Amino acid sequence: MTLTNELETPAFVTDEKVLQKDLALLRDVADQASCKLLYSPKASVLSTVLQNIVRQVDGFACSSPYELRLLDQLCIGTRSLHLVSPLIKAETLAAFGDRLDYLTVNSLSQWDFLRDSVSPPTSVGLRLNPQLSFVRDARYDPCRQQSKLGVPMSKLADLVATDPAVLRGITGLHFHNNCDGADFSNLLTTARHIQSVIPDILHQVDWINIGGGYMFDLASDYMDFYEAVAIFREGFGLEVFMEPGAAAVRRCGTIEATVHDIFGSDDTLIAILDTTVNHMSEVFEFQFEPDVLGHIDGGLHSYTLAGCTCLAGDVFGHYSFDKPLVIGSRLMFLNMGAYTLSKAHRFNGVALPTIYRRRLDGSLDKVGADSFDEFAQHTGGTNVAVA
């Protein structure tokens, strides 16, 4: 990736060559495992990204009515639409009717409430909490103590043993217990655990969704993944779905910014950029330093890169370069394709990044830009009289 002065900064750029490479990897892994490949659009719903993704996937795993509506309007053809969420309203099901292929309910009480609202063609699954945690940060651990996500597997086993009719109308299962993992041994451990605790339930259903949260491009091999899928496919005859989100789009996105001020503060030089951590919310949430093109450990010229808002913690981290930065220097933040624009916000009234697409031939298209009118509309408009 190279920097260019063609862009208005801050800019969010998607690279189609990188996107297609990572999609091809996911497609190959899914095909090798005889697994259905879904995309989880919460990672990115940019139209230019979805136009590439739709060619490679078997369906989309949505989490809200807006995501469903967007995908439905994109003319996704024969690709399946899935909905899984802790909150599913009867009016959502009524609006989509038989266009919704798969519905995963989060609890048995939710299923009782929605049972009469589901169209007959829709296959209904139940989210399972396998009660195995592999995520260090509890904020992102679906299997944390007192989790809101899914029915605890031990509880489900007891309920079904007491009353098999509990699962009447349920034809599938769904679990998701990882986040940004590259070790598929966790998935294999989970599959074996589910197999050992609820084998009778697995024999009663037709499909299972093994979730996402795995970074396929960072994995050294996929043998544990293939074995985990085989446990369900070959051992129980289930159709298996996988639903990566970040794994599909993380590497294809970059944010480009311009240095607008440089000054000393205590023992460091501060470089103020025209972007902000509010454009990359996970930088602030996780408190990590994002990758920056040209950073060299121990480089001669070091700076604290900071955002342009009044938030004291609007800081990206400490970086070193082989050449000094000057006002007007361009910088590129790497691996920003996932959960960036979908979580970005306009704190301080700072505009969202202008969106660009880098085509396969290297040419750039301007896809969209934020505006004051959009900002004002979101706040209720400017047609308010002030005395």
**Angle 334-335-337 from CA coordinates, rounded to 5°:** 120
Mean per-residue pLDDT over the chain, rounded: 93
Residue 173: predicted pLDDT: 98
List phi, psi (to 5°) of 270. Answer: -100, 130
Residue 74: predicted pLDDT: 84
User: Is residue 289's pLDDT more than 80?
Assistant: yes
User: Is residue 2's pLDDT more than 80?
Assistant: no
Mean of the pLDDT values across residues 214-226? 92
User: Is residue 75's pLDDT more than 80?
Assistant: no
Mean of the pLDDT values across residues 17-37? 98
Residue 385: pLDDT band (50, 70, 90) is low
Domains of the chain, first to last: 34-244 (3.20.20.10), 251-378 (2.40.37.10)
Mean of the pLDDT values across residues 20-27? 98
Residue 135: pLDDT band (50, 70, 90) is confident
Residue 372: predicted pLDDT: 86
Residue 93: predicted pLDDT: 92
